[in-house]
Amino acid sequence: EVQLLESGGGLMQPGGSLRLSCATSGYSFSSYAMSWVRQAPGKGLEWVSALDSRGATTHYADSVRGRFTISRDISRSTLYLQMTSLRAEDTATYYCTRDEETDSGLVVTRHDYWGQGVLVTVSS
């Protein structure tokens, strides 16, 4: 059974930093791309960042580029999101998702499995 379990959320002050983790199991972590998708309270879904299966190619939404860094540890089957210079508008539930990848290694952001989400609140 594919499982994704996020952790690391909490209450942060504006300008602060936080690292989210997503521990995975039930499939070959090194064979799939991954993404982070967020949802502000009572709002819709917003894709944040994606990473290919090798951890070589990253993609970011304009709203987080330069502040967030996505990475993965294949030995731990874990995805990370390092968040810096946090803003109030980053307040959201953050989901990690499993994505597809083409034979040539291009990320396909078709999110077939989702974690339960972790809440990040940025407030003074």
Partner 1 sequence: EIVMTQSPATLSVSLGERATLSCRASQNVDSLLAWYQQKPGQSPRLLIHDASTRATGIPARFSGSGSGTEFTLTISGLQSEDFAVYYCQQYRHWTPTFGQGTRVEIK
* Interface positions with partner 1 (CB under 8 A): 37, 44-47, 50, 59, 61-62, 95, 108-117
**Closer to partner 1 by Cβ: residue 1 or 13:** 1
- Gyration radius of the chain's alpha carbons: 14
In this structure, how many other beta carbons lie within 10 angstroms of the beta carbon of residue 107?
20
Question: Please, what is the minimum distance in Å from the beta carbon of residue 40 to partner 1?
Answer: 12
**Closer to partner 1 by Cβ: residue 50 or 51:** 50
Question: Please, what is the minimum distance in Å from the beta carbon of residue 9 to partner 1?
Answer: 14
**Closer to partner 1 by Cβ: residue 17 or 63:** 63
Question: Please, what is the minimum distance in Å from the beta carbon of residue 13 to partner 1?
Answer: 27
Compute the Cα dihedral for 86, 88, 91, 96 and give only its sign: negative
The C-alpha atoms of residue 16 and residue 85 are separated, in whole angstroms, by 6
Single-letter code of the amino acid located at 73: D
**Closer to partner 1 by Cβ: residue 30 or 102:** 102
Compute the Cα dihedral for 105, 109, 113, 114 and give only its sign: positive
Question: Please, what is the minimum distance in Å from the beta carbon of residue 61 to partner 1?
Answer: 6
